[in-house]
Amino acid sequence: MSRSSALADNIMRSLNGATFSMEFEAVRKYRAYYTLKEMKTLHVTVVMSLIDQQQLSRFNNLDMITTMVVVQKHVDHEDNNETDAMTGLLEEIGEHFRSVDFNFAQWIGTIIDIPWDPDDLSEKRIFTGMISLKHQIAWVKD
């Protein structure tokens, strides 16, 4: 399994093993795509996004990996309480990873994009928030 896949799997398991203000079961996919009918329930999708590979020396390497956690649900876009609760969940998830130790990957930062797609919120009433988790993995080339 690739380093980025292993990280995404660990992120998904960490989310599913934690307690948040809203219940969900995170899944790992290559795309966070659901039909409008499926959006009545909360979806949390872990998506591999970006790998920035750097060579530190002849044998030492560093992968800077960005993994997206996409949070989606059909909401009443005019009800601030509902959208505030979704925003709160994004913040909870972001804060969760500040203290998670994966041994092989070091957390280096989080970016939370609220709402990631404002058109979906106004046109389809789908709240889509995105959390970009940045980790680094050092490895030695054989």
DSSP string, 10-70: HHHHHHHHS--SS----EE-SS----TGGGGS-EEEEEEEEEEEEE-SSSEEEEEEEEEEE
Kindly report, residue by residue over 70-103, the tens digit of the pLDDT.
999 999 877 889 999 999 999 999 999 998 989 8
Q: Where are the domains of the chain?
A: 3-140
In CATH, what number does 3-140 get? 3.30.2000.30
pLDDT of 116: 67
Cβ(10)–Cβ(28) below 8 Å: no
Q: Could you tell me the pTM of the whole model?
A: 0.91
Each residue's pLDDT, cut to its tens digit, for the chain (142 residues) gives: 788 999 999 999 999 999 999 999 999 999 998 998 999 999 999 999 888 888 888 888 889 999 999 999 999 877 889 999 999 999 999 999 998 989 899 999 999 998 767 788 888 899 999 999 999 998 888 7
Cβ(41)–Cβ(73) below 8 Å: yes
